[in-house]
Amino acid sequence: MRKSEGRVRDEAAARLAAGVAAFALNVSDEELLAEARGSAEVAFARQVAVYLCHTAFEMSLARVAIAFGRDRSTVAHACHLIEDRRDEPHFDRWIGGLEGMLREAPAPVTARVISA
């Protein structure tokens, strides 16, 4: 069965958010996107990635859950944990910078648009 265009775009957004979180927290993209929970560092990076996907790309919790292959309640929990940390000024600046960077990312286009 072929994936819908929206689902393909959501999964691409999830990979981008995961890549940014993995880079910012010095963990492997592969570990972050794996089915297994992984170490505490990987789990935290995944929570950051899910939060970024939800806030920067304005995706619903359900869409983020599908894109990351997680349960919606797991995504909601991750977003609440990260939101609670935003009370810490240093963390708020750090996560805000990542969020702003993803918000400024250009919208996806096809290769035909670029080469025309």
* pLDDT range class, residue 111, cuts 50, 70, 90: low
List, in order of start, the domains of the chain with CATH numbers. Answer: 5-115 (1.10.1750.10)
**Greater model confidence, 112 or 64:** 64
Residue 41 clears pLDDT 80, i.e. is over it:
yes
Sequence-distant (≥ 6) Cβ neighbours of residue 19 within 8 angstroms: 29
Rounded percentage of the chain residues whose pLDDT exceeds 70: 93
Token pair, residue 99, equals 């969020």
Q: What is the DSSP letter of 87?
A: T
* pLDDT range class, residue 110, cuts 50, 70, 90: low
Range in 29-43, 63-77, 82-96 with the lowest mean pLDDT: 29-43
- Looking at residue 38, what is its pLDDT? 87
Q: Which of 84, 31, 82, 93 is nearest to 53 (CA)?
A: 82
Q: What is the DSSP letter of 104?
A: T
Work out the average pLDDT over 88-105. 96
Residue 112 clears pLDDT 70, i.e. is over it:
no
